[in-house]
Amino acid sequence: MARLLRQIVPLLAAAFLHAGAHAQDADAEIMREAMKDTPLNNFRFVGSHLVCKQDTPARNYLACLRIGTVKVGDSFRSFTERHPGAGKEAALETGVTVSMHPAAPDAGTYWVIGRRGDRIVSVQLTGIHSGPELAFATLQLGDSEEKALAVLGPRASIRAVPEIGGLLWDYAPFPISIEFVGGKVYSIRITDPAPAP
């Protein structure tokens, strides 16, 4: 009997490992199929996960922390060369300096950029409307709550923002938040997941 068990146990273990690997392969295929139309360096909600489709083999989601071409981690100097015309600027107690910059010629859409030294640690786009060139994970200012749910999935929390008469959706543990006014995306904010002290 002991001899029979010594022969069966390795066979059963191999069968379970094979079944587990097969299930992982099936999950990976489902993920690939769902992500095939997602542009590179964008988030997408697939199954029960928020996933970053990126052009690098990194095991994090930093490549997807971008609004248009502006990324968390970029050089602030490079940003101001591409987006001249800074407005107000304020130094926060956290050591972050925040500044406003026009994002579109109509001046109704603007950036709020947080930086430590020359490194961008937060990017926020605010306004009534933006085009695909200023999208986050294909989500644009003016898009519906339904599209936000389809693209990013369920939010971690919702709270009222009386200053704008809207709602803030938080996607913790991801450093993503979206403000809605009248059921439409009004502001998108992404931050450094681990800002330096």
For 44-86, the pLDDT digits (tens) are 898 888 888 888 777 788 889 999 999 999 999 999 998 877 7
Q: What is the CA radius of gyration of the chain?
A: 22
**Pairwise CA distance, residues 19 & 13, whole Å:** 10
> Mean of the pLDDT values across residues 78-95?
86
Amino acid at 9: V
pLDDT at site 78: 94
Say if residues 55 and 39 touch (Cβ distance below 8 Å).
Answer: no
Q: Is residue 187 predicted with pLDDT exceeding 70?
A: yes
Across the chain, mean pLDDT equals 83
**Preceding peptide of 105 cis, ω within 30°:** no
Q: Where are the domains of the chain?
A: 1-36, 42-191
Q: Which distant-in-sequence residues (6+ apart) come within 8 Å of 144 by Cβ?
A: 183, 184, 185
Q: Which carries the bigger pLDDT value, residue 127 or residue 85?
A: 127
pLDDT band at 125 (very low <50, low <70, confident <90, very high): very high
Give residue 22's pLDDT. 39
The percent helix, strand, coil of the chain (3-state, each to 5) is 30, 35, 40
- Give the residue with greater pLDDT, 16 vs 27: 27
Greater confidence (174 vs 33) lies with 174
14, pLDDT greater than 60? no
pTM of the model: 0.80
The answer to whether residue 165 scores a pLDDT higher than 50 is yes
pLDDT of residue 179: 98
Decide: 86 and 99 in contact? Cβ < 8 Å.
Answer: yes
Return all residues near 104 (Cβ < 8 A) that are at least 6 apart: 127, 130, 134
Given a cut of 80, is residue 115 above it in pLDDT? yes
Let me know: does 165 contact 135? Beta carbons within 8 Å.
no
Q: How many whole angstroms separate alpha carbon 42 and alpha carbon 38?
A: 7
d(CA 105, CA 148): 26
Strand partners, 144: 184
Which whole number is the average pLDDT over 146-163? Answer: 96
Residue 123 three-state SS: strand
Please state the length of the chain: 197
Q: What is the pLDDT of residues 22-50, one digit of tens each?
A: 344 555 666 566 566 777 888 889 888 88
Q: Please provide the distance, in angstroms rounded to a whole number, between the alpha carbons at the two ends of the chain.
A: 62
Backbone angles phi, psi at 137, to 5 degrees: 55, 40
Quick one: pLDDT at residue 32? 62
For the chain, the farthest-separated pair of C-alpha atoms sits apart, in whole angstroms, at 82
